[in-house]
Amino acid sequence: MTKLNTFEQAVATYEPVLGLETHIELDTNTKMFCGCSTAFGAEPNTQVCPVCLALPGALPVANKAAVEATIKIGLALNCRIAEWTRFARKNYFYPDMPKNFQTSQYEEPLCEDGYVDVVVDGKAYRVEIERVHLEEDTGKTLHVGGTTGRIHGATESLVDYNRAGIPLVEIVTKPVPGTGALAPEVARAYTAELRDIVRSLGVSDVRMEQGSLRCDVNLSLNRPGEEWGTRTETKNVNSLRSVERAVRYEVRRQSALLDAGERIFQETRHFHETTGETSPGRSKEEATDYRYFPEPDLAVMEPSREWVEELRASLPELPRKRRERLQAAWSLGDKEMQSVVNADAVDLIEATVAAGATPSAAVKWWLGELSRRANESGEELAAMRITPAEVAELQGMVDDGRLNDKLARQVIDGVLAGEGSPSDVAAKRGLEVVSDTGALEAAVDEAIAANPAVADKIRGGTHAAAGVLIGAVMKATKGQADAGTVRQIILDKLG
Amino acid sequence: MSRIIDKTAAELAADIRDGRLTSVEVTTAFLDRIDAVDGTVKAFLHVDRDGALATAREVDEAVARGEALGPLAGVPVAVKDVVVTKGMPTTAASKILEGWIPPYDATIVERIKAAKLPILGKTNMDEFAMGSSTEYSAYFKTVNPWDTGRIPGGSGGGSAAAVAAKMAPLAIGTDTGGSIRQPGAVTGTFGAKPTYGGNSRYGLIAFSSSLDTPGPVSRNALDGALLHEVISGHDPRDSTSIDAPVPPVVEAARLGATGDLSGVKLGVVKEFKEGADAAEPGVVAAYEAGLEQLVKLGAELVEVSCPSFAYALPTYYLIAPSEASSNLARYDGVRYGLRAGDDGKRSLEEVMSLTREAGFGPEVKRRIILGTYALSAGYVDAFYGKAQKVRTLIKQDFEKAFEQVDALVSPTTPFIAFEFGARTGDPYQMYLADLYTIPTNMYGGPGVSVPVGLSEGMPVGLQVMGPVLGDDITYRVAAALESTQDVLLADTAPEISAQRFTSFDEGGK
C-alpha cells in the first residue's frame, strides 16, 4: 500500500469534492409499514409481525407520521415538497432484509432541492441538498463464532428484525466542491447542523452512537481545473469526529494513489473508529442491479399544499435562529459563538445555564477544561460522563468558595471516573477548600515563621511577595485553601 | 334434487337459518363427499374436518339460541391455498412453503370466519398461481370432474373442481390473469374476479401485486354474489383497497335472475373475434348461442373496438413476472419454509440459491427469470416501462368502451379444457388460455365467467366485464343468462364415476 500523504501535502495538490448521504431513523411510535414498536433495546425479534418479517401475504401500509416528519425535514432543509410521490422497491438479497427488497423511493422522492448553510473558520458554505426520501431500515445481523465479529470466520449469523422496518429518512447532498483544506470541517459542520435541525424538529433523537443518525461520506479528488475524480463512498461513519477523520483519511489516501499514478476505484469503503482508517468493501463496479420499480403494494402519495403549508407553519425555531438568540443572551462575540458551535457545545451550555450557571462560567468550563479533556480522550464533548447539571453544580461550589479552580479540576476527574456528582466526589475525596480560619491562620503562621525574609518584605509594603507565602500555605493544605482568603489573612497579619 | 350437496349455497343457508338442516349436517355432507371423490379429483391439498365441524356446531348453537346470522352462516367454503389461514397449512402449492403454518389470517379469511362459514380446507392450484391448468402444482394434478383426462383450468383448478364435483358449495379463488374465470369456464362453474381493490389482498400470497384479486367460485351468480359480499369491503391493512361502498352484487344477481335485460347495452369486443385471437369453433358456437339468449332478454349488442387488447397478453407477461420476481424474493430459507443445503459449511448465498433451486418449480423459475430480466438495468424501460404504458392504453380502451356500453362480453377462454400435458411443452400455448381474461386484470375492473353451454361435451364459459366498481352489472348479466337455462350447468356436473355428462342440451334452451 502506498504511503499516505500528509493532509497538507494532499490539499496543496488536489481539490476535494465532498458528498454526504445521511440516514436518520425517525422516532415514530410504530414502524414505517406496520404497527410494531420502534423502541430501542428490546429483546431480539420481539418487535416483529407478519409485515416486517415479510411473511407470505403480508402487505405494507405507510406510516403517516413518518411522511409528516420527512416533509418537516424537507421544509427545514429548504426543499421543494413533491406534489406526487411514491415508493419504489430496491431489490437485492440480504438476510437482514426480510422481503429481499427494501421499500424506498427512487425517481419520485418526497423532497428535493434544498440547502444547508454552515460556517467554518468564519467562511460560509452552502451545502446543497439533492433529495430527502423515506425508506425502511433493515434488521441487524450478528456474526458469531468468529474472532472479528465480521462475517469472515463466523460460524453462525443471527438476525434481529426489531430494527427491520423502522422509518429511515435518507438525505443526499449534491456534490460539494470548493472546500479545499476545510473539507473535513465542512463535512463535520454540515452533519452537525443537519443533526441539530432534525433534533429541533423533534422527529428523531439523532444519536450517532445508537445509529439513529448514520453517515456515508463520498469523496473524490481532482487537480485544479480538471474534471472531478472518481469517488469512494465510506460507510459506517458514526460520530461527528469520525466524519472529519474519514474525510481527512480519504484525502490522504486518494492523493497518495493519484500521486503514484494509480486510479481510484469507485467503491464502498468502511471506516474503522479505532484506527481512523478506511478499508475497501464491495466494489460498486460489480455491484448489484437493484431493479428499482414502483412499489405496487402502496398507494401514490399526493401531499396537499394545505398540509405542507400547515407543517411549514408548525416548524419550531431552527438551530440558526436559536444560535442567534443564544449568542445575544449569552453576550458572546461571533468568534466565541463559533467556537461554541464548532465544539458542539450549544446544547450543553444552554442546559448548564438552565441548571443555574452563568453563561460565562458555562462557556468557560465546556470550551476550556472539558474540551481539553475531550480532545485528550478522543471523545465527543456530549459523550463525556459529566452532565450540564453537574457542571452547574461544580460552578456553584466554586462560587460558594467551597472549591477553587484546582480542586474543581480534581472534582471533574472524579465525576468523569464515575464517582458521582461533584458534591459526592468532593465529599469522598475530601476536596473542600479549608474554610476553618483557625487552621488557615496556623498554616499562615507556620509559613511566616519558615520564611522570615519574605515576611519582612511584605511588612515593608511589597505585597506581591505574599505569593510565596500563599504557595507555602496551599502546599501545606494540599491545595484545599482558598487563595484569596489566605492572602487576606497574610496581609492582615503583616500589613 | 334431494341431496344436500346438490343444493346451492343460498338454499343451504336458508335451510340452516330456518332449521330444516343443521350446519353440521351440511358440512358433514360435503366432508363425506370429499372423502368419497377427492381421491379421484384431487382438488384439496388439506382438509380440515375438525375445524369445519367446530364452526358448524357454533352456527347450530347460534341458530338454537335464535341469534341473527349472516346470509351464508353455516355454509361451508373451500379456500385456495394461496390465501393465508391461521393454523392451517398454506403452501401456494409450492414445495418452498411445505409445512409452513401461518400465524395469521388473511383479511378475507377473517371475514369468512366472522360470517361463520366452516372452512373445509385448502384447494390445489398452480404453484404461486402461475399457470392455467393446475398442472404446475408442486404436489399433484387436479382433474376436471367433467373428464378426468382433462385439466380443471388454473391456477385455481382446485377451487373450481371442488365446486364442480360438489365437494364444496362455495370456494375462494384468486385471479391475476384469469385464475378464477378460466377454471370456472372449463369446469362449468361460476367465478368472479371483482374490481381490483374491492377485496382485500392482505394475506393473499402475492404473485403480481397490481393484478391479484380474490373472488368467489360457486355454482351460480347469486351464490357467488353472497360470498362476494362476505369478503368485500375496505381493508386498512391493504393500501390498494378501495374505500368505497361494496357494489350491490346480491341485489344485482337477484335482479338478473328475473330474466330482464332490457336497456342493458353489451359490448362485443371486435378484436377477440379476429385471426389468431379467435376462440375455437365449438366455444364460439356456445358463446354466440349465449349472446342470442341475452338479446332475447332485452340486451342490446354493440360491437366495440379495443385495439390495445391485442397487446394485453405480452404486456401481462412483462408486468406480472416483474412483480413476481420481487414478490417471491422473500422465499430464501432464512425465516420460514424450505431450507436446502444448510450443512454448516455452505455460505448463506449458496444456501439461499439451493433453497430456491429446490423449492421452486419450472414455471415459477421461468417467470422469476422473465421478471428479473424485464426489470434489469438497460432493459427496464424497453420492457417493464413500455408494458406500463401499454397497460394505460388498455385501461383507456375499457374506459372508452364503457362510455358506450354497460358491460363487455366475450368467451372466457379460447378453448375447452384440454388434456393433461397438451400445453405444458409450450408455455405460450398455455398462456393463451388467459387471452380474454387478462385485459380485465390490466384494467382493474370486474369480470365474471358464467357457464353458457357445452362444446364436445365440455363446459364453455361466457365472460362479462364491467367498469371499475361496476361489479353489479356483471352479476346481473350472468344471473340473467342462468335464468335461460333449464338447469344450472353446474348442477348437472357428472358423477365422478360417470366419466362424462351428456344430457345437457347444447346451446341452452
Alpha helices in A368-421 (DSSP H): 369-377, 388-399, 405-416
**Domain enclosing residue A249, as ranges:** 7-311
- Among A485, A435, A406, A193, CA closest to A320: A193
Which range is most confident: A259-263, A468-472, B316-320? B316-320
What is the C-alpha to C-alpha distance for residues A147 and A127, in angstroms, rounded to an integer?
41
CB burial string A130-161: b at 16+ within 10 A, e below? bbbbbbbbbbebebeeeeeeeeeebeebebbb
Residues of chain B neighbouring A107 (CB-CB closer than 8 A): none
**Residue A94: closest C-alpha in chain B:** B349
Residues of chain B neighbouring A159 (CB-CB closer than 8 A): 334
**Residue B324: closest C-alpha in chain A:** A296
Helices (H) and strands (E) in chain B, counts: 16, 11
Please tell me the distance in Å from B258's CA to the nearest CA on chain A.
Answer: 40
pLDDT band at residue A434, thresholds of 50, 70 and 90? confident
B447 lies in some domain: yes
Structure confidence at residue A79 (pLDDT): 98
pLDDT band at residue B109, thresholds of 50, 70 and 90? very high
Residue range A374-399: mean pLDDT, rounded: 91
Within this chain, do residues A182 and A123 fall inside the same structural domain, yes or no?
A: yes
Amino acid identity of residue A286, one-letter, is: E
B90 lies in some domain: yes
Catalytic residue among B7, B80, B116, B166: B80
Catalytic residue among B23, B179, B200, B208: B179
Least confident of A91-100, B10-19, B441-450: A91-100
Q: Which of A57, A157, A291 sits opposite B205 (nearest CB)?
A: A57
CB spacing of A57 vs B332 below 8 angstroms: no
- Among B144, B84, B94, B25, CA closest to B361: B94
Within this chain, do residues A480 and A383 fall inside the same structural domain, yes or no?
A: no
A14 lies in some domain: yes
Question: Residue B232: phi, psi to the nearest 5?
Answer: -80, 170
Q: Which of A50, A57, A93 sits opposite B206 (nearest CB)?
A: A57
Last residue of a domain, one of A256, A280, A311: A311
From chain B, which residues contact A within 8 Å (Cβ)?
A: 83-84, 90, 92, 97, 100, 102-104, 106, 201-206, 208-210, 236-240, 322-323, 325-326, 329-330, 332, 334-336, 344, 348-349, 352, 372, 375-377, 380, 384
What is chain A's mean pLDDT, rounded? 91
Residues of chain A neighbouring B209 (CB-CB closer than 8 A): 296-297
DSSP A481: B
Strands B265-269 vs B300-304: parallel, antiparallel or unpaired: parallel
List CB contacts of B251: < 8 A, sequence separation 6 or more: B472
pLDDT band at residue B16, thresholds of 50, 70 and 90? very high
Catalytic residue check, B179? yes
* A294 C-beta neighbours (distance < 10 Å), count: 17
Q: How many domains does chain B have?
A: 1
Residue range A222-245: mean pLDDT, rounded: 93
**Residue A160: closest C-alpha in chain B:** B335
pLDDT band at residue B505, thresholds of 50, 70 and 90? very low
- Among B128, B157, B193, CA closest to B325: B128
**Among all chains, which residue has been given the C-alpha cell 439523532?**
A206
Q: Which of A61, A89, A95 sits opposite B326 (nearest CB)?
A: A89
Written as one string, the DSSP assignment of A408-471 is HHHHHHHHHTT--SHHHHHHHHT---B--HHHHHHHHHHHHHH-HHHHHHHHTT-GGGHHHHHH
A95 touching chain B per CB within 8 A? yes
Amino acid identity of residue B223, one-letter, is: D
- Among B225, B123, B139, B219, CA closest to B174: B123
Catalytic residue check, B80? yes
Residues of chain A neighbouring B380 (CB-CB closer than 8 A): 291-293
Percent of chain A at pLDDT exceeding 90: 69
3-state secondary structure of B83: strand
Residues of chain B neighbouring A100 (CB-CB closer than 8 A): 329-330, 332
CB spacing of A291 vs B210 below 8 angstroms: no
User: CB–CB of B211/A297 below 8 Å?
Assistant: no
* pLDDT at position B501 over 60: no
**Residue A155: closest C-alpha in chain B:** B344
B79 lies in some domain: yes
B374 lies in some domain: no
DSSP B276: G
**Residue A54: closest C-alpha in chain B:** B330
Structure confidence at residue B494 (pLDDT): 66
Q: How many domains does chain A have?
A: 3
CA A84 to chain centre: 34
Within this chain, do residues A321 and A293 fall inside the same structural domain, yes or no?
A: no
Last residue of a domain, one of A404, A429, A454: A429
Within this chain, do residues A114 and A189 fall inside the same structural domain, yes or no?
A: yes
Helices (H) and strands (E) in chain A, counts: 17, 14
| A-to-B residue pairs, Cβ atoms closer than 8 angstroms | 99
Task: For residue B418, give the C-alpha cell.
Answer: 384440454
What is the C-alpha to C-alpha distance for residues A466 and B508, in angstroms, rounded to an integer?
126
Structure confidence at residue A152 (pLDDT): 64
CB spacing of B326 vs A57 below 8 angstroms: no
Residues of chain A neighbouring B240 (CB-CB closer than 8 A): 296-299
pLDDT band at residue A287, thresholds of 50, 70 and 90? low
pLDDT single digits (tens) A31-51: 999 999 999 889 999 999 999
Task: For residue B8, give the C-alpha cell.
Answer: 346451492
Within this chain, do residues A155 and A297 fall inside the same structural domain, yes or no?
A: yes
Within this chain, do residues A147 and A235 fall inside the same structural domain, yes or no?
A: yes
Least confident of A13-17, A387-391, A452-456, B225-229: A452-456
B413 lies in some domain: yes
A100 touching chain B per CB within 8 A? yes
**CATH at residue A467:** 1.10.10
* B482 C-beta neighbours (distance < 10 Å), count: 24
User: CB–CB of A168/A23 below 8 Å?
Assistant: yes
A2 lies in some domain: no
A86 touching chain B per CB within 8 A? no
What is the C-alpha to C-alpha distance for residues A359 and A407, in angstroms, rounded to an integer?
21
pLDDT single digits (tens) B240-275: 999 999 999 999 999 999 999 999 999 999 888 777
Task: For residue A407, give the C-alpha cell.
Answer: 480542586
Beta-sheet strand order (sheet of B447-455) = B44-47, B119-123, B77-80, B170-175, B213-218, B190-193, B447-455, B458-465, B407-411, B265-269, B300-304
Cis, peptide link before residue B159, omega less than 30° from 0: no
**Domain enclosing residue B293, as ranges:** 4-311+391-492
A298 touching chain B per CB within 8 A? yes
What is the C-alpha to C-alpha distance for residues B458 and B286, in angstroms, rounded to an integer?
11
A274 touching chain B per CB within 8 A? no
Q: Which of A98, A100, A293 sits opposite B322 (nearest CB)?
A: A293
Structure confidence at residue A478 (pLDDT): 79
Within this chain, do residues A464 and A345 fall inside the same structural domain, yes or no?
A: no
Last residue of a domain, one of A290, A311, A332: A311
Structure confidence at residue B508 (pLDDT): 34
Strands A80-81 vs A277-283: parallel, antiparallel or unpaired: unpaired
CB spacing of B330 vs A297 below 8 angstroms: no
Please tell me the distance in Å from B457's CA to the nearest CA on chain A.
Answer: 38
Residue range A470-475: mean pLDDT, rounded: 86
Structure confidence at residue B502 (pLDDT): 35
Burial, B65: exposed, middle or buried (Cβ in 10 Å; 0-12, 13-18, 19+)? exposed
User: The whole model's pTM is what?
Assistant: 0.87
Amino acid identity of residue B54, one-letter, is: A
Within this chain, do residues A53 and A181 fall inside the same structural domain, yes or no?
A: yes
Catalytic residue check, B113? no
Least confident of A379-383, B93-97, B479-483: A379-383
Give the total residue count for chain A.
495
| Mutation for testing the A interface, residue in B332, B338, B381 having most A CBs under 10 Å | B332
Residue range B282-310: mean pLDDT, rounded: 96
Within this chain, do residues A268 and A128 fall inside the same structural domain, yes or no?
A: yes
CB spacing of A57 vs B372 below 8 angstroms: no
pLDDT band at residue B503, thresholds of 50, 70 and 90? very low
pLDDT band at residue B499, thresholds of 50, 70 and 90? very low
User: CB–CB of A158/A144 below 8 Å?
Assistant: yes
Structure confidence at residue A1 (pLDDT): 56
* pLDDT at position B288 over 80: yes
pLDDT band at residue A109, thresholds of 50, 70 and 90? very high
Written as one string, the DSSP assignment of A27-92 is --SB-SSSS-B--TTPPTT-S--TTTTT-TT------HHHHHHHHHHHHHTTPEEPSSB--EEEE-
Pick B381 or A462 by higher pLDDT: B381
3-state secondary structure of A141: strand
Residues of chain A neighbouring B352 (CB-CB closer than 8 A): 93
Q: What is the CA radius of gyration of chain B?
A: 21
Interface of A with B in 152-171 (CB under 8 A): 155, 157, 159
**CATH at residue B150:** 3.90.1300.10
Burial, A207: exposed, middle or buried (Cβ in 10 Å; 0-12, 13-18, 19+)? middle
Pick B333 or A436 by higher pLDDT: B333
- Among A372, A381, A303, CA closest to A341: A381
Please tell me the distance in Å from A321's CA to the nearest CA on chain B.
Answer: 40
CB spacing of A54 vs B100 below 8 angstroms: no
Structure confidence at residue A469 (pLDDT): 87
Structure confidence at residue A481 (pLDDT): 80
Structure confidence at residue B13 (pLDDT): 98
pLDDT single digits (tens) A186-202: 999 999 999 999 999 99
Structure confidence at residue A150 (pLDDT): 61
Please tell me the distance in Å from B374's CA to the nearest CA on chain A.
Answer: 9
What is the C-alpha to C-alpha distance for residues B131 and B179, in angstroms, rounded to an integer?
8
Within this chain, do residues A405 and A391 fall inside the same structural domain, yes or no?
A: yes
Structure confidence at residue B370 (pLDDT): 97
Within this chain, do residues A218 and A268 fall inside the same structural domain, yes or no?
A: yes
Residue range B277-281: mean pLDDT, rounded: 88
Percent of chain A at pLDDT exceeding 70: 97
3-state secondary structure of A138: coil
Within this chain, do residues A214 and A329 fall inside the same structural domain, yes or no?
A: no
Residues of chain A neighbouring B98 (CB-CB closer than 8 A): none
A99 touching chain B per CB within 8 A? yes
What is the C-alpha to C-alpha distance for residues A469 and A491, in angstroms, rounded to an integer?
10
What is the C-alpha to C-alpha distance for residues B123 and B47, in angstroms, rounded to an integer?
9
Please tell me the distance in Å from B199's CA to the nearest CA on chain A.
Answer: 14
User: CB–CB of B256/B283 below 8 Å?
Assistant: no
How far is the CA of B479 from the CAs of A361, B14, B230, B284, B476, in angstroms?
A: 87, 19, 19, 20, 5
Residue range A361-384: mean pLDDT, rounded: 91
User: CB–CB of A131/A172 below 8 Å?
Assistant: yes
Percent of chain B at pLDDT exceeding 90: 92
What is chain B's mean pLDDT, rounded? 94
